[in-house]
Amino acid sequence: MRILVRYLKEYKLESVLGPLFKLLEASFELLVPLVMAQIIDVGIKNQDLSYVLKMGGLLVLLGMIGLFCALTAQYFAAKASVGVCTTLRNNLFAHIGSLSYNEQDKIGTATLITRMTSDINQVQSGLNLALRLLLRSPFVVFGAMVMAFTVNVRAAMVFAVAIPALSVVVFGIMGFSMPLYKKVQRQLDQVTLATRENLTGVRVIRAFNRQEDEMLRFDESNDMLVRFQIFVGKISALMNPLTYVIINLAIVAVVWISGKQVDAGIITQGETVALVNYMSQILVELIKLANLIVSISKALACVNRVGLIFEEKSSISEPKTEIGKQQETAGQTAAVCFRNVDFAYQGAKEDSLSGIDFTVGQGQTVGIIGGTGSGKSSLVNLISRFYDVREGAVFVDGRDVREYPLQELRQKIGMVPQKAVLFKGTLRENMQWGKKDATDEEVYQALRIAQAMEFVEGKEQGLDLPIDQNGKNLSGGQRQRLTIARALVKRPEILIMDDSASALDFATDARLRKAIQEGTEGMTVFIVSQRATTIRNADQILVLDDGHLVGRGTHQQLLQDCEVYREICLSQLSKEEM
């Protein structure tokens, strides 16, 4: 709730004018029964047509003024609610982007998508209704009661009894249903997760002929959501019949009491009609209030869920000082240095990396090899500070990565991730991610090094080649080569290739390695690979096994000294290649 208050400060005027015009509309609406009473008691009683027409004109005027006030209130309420939720959505998107991999892994993509879409839409709808009706409905309810007392005190006592009874029903159901809406939204996360997994993994699902199983899993998740919604809906549905029963009993009581008073000459027939109209107004407004409370309950549950994301703080924090002290222990000529690094993922029981210690000089090419799950990707992710070490330190250019502003650190590094990701747009737009003002010649040079020029020229569209979402119109090898080129465009000091050539054939891989060696002079290159041929010519090879650095040296040194590396080579290389 505090989040909404903070954002509404930017729309103070709209937040005041919206409810204000609604109150003006309600004020004119409360005058209608009194005008009707005058038409009955004066115009109809005396058969005075001119008076009836005059008072009818007054009713039309009140209706037109009320319509103008309602439209004005709707405009300001919509402007405030849409503006608040637009800003909220933008800030949430920016906040999610600032979270480290740790927090994003913990929360989950499906949950973040639900918060960004469904939850904020619910907040927008609830806020719009609240600005228009939260003050209007209670104002009409109590205003009608006050006006009833001005007509007849004895008959109005029915109002004094009915309104508290209605309040108990409305707020009692609201208090019971609000926590249940949180469960509904949490289950919606599960439906979103199932949907996302099926859409992204559709090829795998079809390849294994698991459509029926996935449909069953989705149906179970969706049925659970439906059961939650029906249960909450049944509770909320009690509101209308209960309020109708109370109101209609109250109307019967009003007619009973006022009818006797009409016979006694205490009040007029018009005043009786006015009392019934006021009771009907209360009924309408309480139904609105009931629906409003349901919407507000959903909105509050959703805004609390959004607030939980804002409460998540990134474990990767910017340094307090602009420039940190260089660490002499890391060596001034070292491009990258690991010092007794231990690292564990959040919630993991064991370290993914333990006791990692090595130094890489400027301009060296480093190969990293090891079995699946040995910690290769975890190691290179520490250089870019996507995660922080648990113990020890990682140094870049003699300076602890935790002392760098993140933008400055990552500007030094070109990252080619394990999963090749491209964005919808043109080839030129994708290549300029690393360097916004990159010229076409710089892009072509990077494409030549990445062995991507041949297929780009074959498309005959040059740098205007359209790229679909995730590069779906390209093959796996083409996507990998383009992601390598994208990293090379920025000419980073450190290039990290995280198993980024796995989809390439051996001939293309060999040409790529040769081109990178020739085209990245002075650049420190990390090559993560499962292939021994890919890293055999590196200046230094790091061999990982179960999170431990079990070998370090050149290809020939490791063949002699490292059993793990020797086993890998024996399984992949012929005796001549070794």
Residue 126 identity (one-letter amino acid) = G
Cβ count within 10 A of residue 299: 26
Residue 23: predicted pLDDT: 92
pLDDT band at residue 334 under the 50/70/90 scheme: low
Beta-carbon contacts of residue 355 (< 8 Å; ≥ 6 apart): 340, 341, 342, 548, 549
User: 2-311 in CATH: which number?
Assistant: 1.20.1560.10
Residue 60: predicted pLDDT: 93
Least confident of 383-397, 456-470, 548-562: 456-470
β-pair type (540-545, 548-553): antiparallel
Q: Domain ranges in the chain?
A: 2-311, 416-491
Residue 354: predicted pLDDT: 94
Q: Which is higher by pLDDT, 449 or 247?
A: 449
Q: What is the DSSP secondary-structure string of 303-317?
A: HHHHHHHHH---SSP
Per-residue pLDDT averaged across 282-288, rounded? 79
Residue 367: predicted pLDDT: 93
At residue 407, φ and ψ (nearest 5 deg) are: -65, -40
pLDDT digits (tens, 9 = 90+) for 462-493: 888 999 888 888 888 889 999 999 999 988 99
Instruction: Single out the residue of 465, 462, 519, 458 nearest to residue 492, CA to CA.
Output: 519
Distance CA 523, CA 363 (A): 5
- For helices 12-38 and 136-151, the axis angle rounded to 10 degrees is 30
Beta-carbon contacts of residue 270 (< 8 Å; ≥ 6 apart): 36, 37, 38, 39, 40, 41, 42
- pTM, two decimal places: 0.72
Residue 209: Cβ-neighbour burial (10 angstroms; 0-12, 13-18, 19+)? exposed
Instruction: Single out the residue of 134, 135, 150 nearest to residue 278, CA to CA.
Output: 150
pLDDT digits (tens, 9 = 90+) for 88-105: 999 999 999 888 888 888
According to the per-residue pLDDT averaged within each range, which of 208-212, 277-281, 411-415, 461-465 is highest? 411-415
Residue 304 predicted with pLDDT over 70? yes
Residue 67: predicted pLDDT: 92
Instruction: Single out the residue of 151, 172, 187 nearest to residue 33, CA to CA.
Output: 151
CATH architecture of the domain with range 416-491: 3-Layer(aba) Sandwich (3.40)
Distance CA 357, CA 393 (A): 9
Residue 76: predicted pLDDT: 95
Residue 448 predicted with pLDDT over 50? yes
Q: What is the mean pLDDT of the chain?
A: 86
Residue 503: predicted pLDDT: 76
Residue 3: predicted pLDDT: 80
**What percentage of the chain exceeds 70 in pLDDT?**
96
pLDDT band at residue 323 under the 50/70/90 scheme: very low
HEC assignment per residue over 436-473: CCCCHHHHHHHHHHCCCHHHHHHHCCHHHCEECHHHCC
Residue 100: predicted pLDDT: 83
Least confident of 91-95, 232-236, 369-373, 554-558: 232-236
Pair of tokens at residue 295: 């919407």
Residue 151 predicted with pLDDT over 80? yes
Beta-carbon contacts of residue 232 (< 8 Å; ≥ 6 apart): 177, 180, 181, 184
pLDDT band at residue 326 under the 50/70/90 scheme: very low
Residue 357: predicted pLDDT: 94
pLDDT digits (tens, 9 = 90+) for 159-195: 888 888 887 887 787 777 777 877 887 888 788 888 8
Q: What is the DSSP secondary-structure string of 120-187?
A: HHHHHHHHHHHHHHTTHHHHHHHHHHHHHHHH-HHHHHHHHHHHHHHHHHHHHHHHHHHHHHHHHHHH
Q: Under a CB-based contact definition with an 8 Å cutoff, are residues 434 and 486 in contact? A: yes
**What percentage of the chain exceeds 90 in pLDDT?**
30
Q: Which is higher by pLDDT, 29 or 167?
A: 29
Instruction: Single out the residue of 437, 407, 406, 433 nearest to residue 421, CA to CA.
Output: 433
pLDDT digits (tens, 9 = 90+) for 432-443: 987 888 898 999
The distance of Cα 402 from the centroid of its chain, to the nearest Å, equals 28
Residue 236 identity (one-letter amino acid) = S
Per-residue pLDDT averaged across 508-535, rounded? 87
Q: Which is it for the CA torsion 557, 563, 565, 570, positive or negative? A: positive
The one-character DSSP state at 41 is I
Residue 160: predicted pLDDT: 84
Residue 307 predicted with pLDDT over 60? yes
Name the strand (E) or helix (H) holding 509.
Answer: helix 506-519
β-pair type (494-498, 334-343): unpaired
Three-state DSSP class for residue 548: strand
Distance CA 179, CA 20 (A): 31
